[in-house]
Amino acid sequence: MEIASEIVHCNASRVQFLDGLVKLIPKSVKVEFGKKVIDVIPSADGKGQMKIIFEGGLEREANAVIGCDGIRSACRRILLGQDSRAIYSGKYAYRKVVNMEKAVEVVGEEVRNRLIYLGKGGHVLMFPIRRGEMLNVVAFKDGGEKEWADKRWVVPSDREDLLEDFKGWNRKVRNILKVC
């Protein structure tokens, strides 16, 4: 009797993942994109369908609703309630997708594998995506005692801010951050 099974890990960019999901939808299923969901409620007819209410008043009925609507998810609120909203964790992150060959050039062959560098006040996670052609780099930094003041969750930043936040980290981390 086998008591353990193999777990295979794979990586994909969000775009690749969503494209893959869309390809799985049968042609007979009507799909609409680019609309903001305001609410999802049971249809009045009691047949198990759901009424989706979009921004601007557009309404549709569906047998299933898949919510891929991000960190400020209306679907999360609808399913889990008002208290399920995302809150600031005390960390912020810089994200960038880098050409794998450029990453290998500045760091070394080890970037072809999943890596995490740990340091005082942060960590840097790297993993290959897009069939190993690109490297996803996410540099997490502790925000200290400061609260997140910006109404936006994604804000523009520049290389100088990134490099200042990771000043004193090892050469490999600094080299990959320089190409971000």
- Going by C-alpha positions, the residue among 151, 145, 153, 178 that lies closest to residue 164 is 178
Position with higher pLDDT, 30 vs 137: 137
Could you tell me the strand order of the sheet in which 37-42 lies?
A: 37-42, 50-54, 59-62
Q: Tens digits of per-residue pLDDT, 139-180?
A: 999 998 888 888 888 888 999 999 999 999 999 999 999 999
The predicted structure's pLDDT at residue 17:
80
Please name each of the domains of the chain with its CATH number: 32-84 (no CATH), 91-178 (3.30.9.30)
Burial class (CB in 10 A: 0-12, 13-18, 19+), 176: buried
The per-residue pLDDT for range 76-120, each reduced to its tens digit, is: 788 788 777 777 889 999 999 999 999 999 999 999 999 999 998
Q: What percent of the chain has pLDDT over 90?
A: 43
Section 49-73 average pLDDT: 83
pLDDT score of 163: 95
Nearest to 29 by CA among 60, 74, 57, 73: 60
Q: What is the pTM of this model?
A: 0.70
What are the tokens at 157? 């930043």
Q: Residue length, the chain?
A: 180
Residue 65 belongs to what H/E stretch?
A: none
Active site residue 95: yes
Query: What are the backbone angles phi and psi of residue 37, rounded to the nearest 5°?
Result: -75, 130
Better-scored residue on pLDDT, 168 or 47: 168
Nearest alpha carbon to residue 86 among 96, 78, 76, 94 = 76
Exactly one of 14, 72, 95, 114 is catalytic; name it.
95
- Amino acid found at 39: D
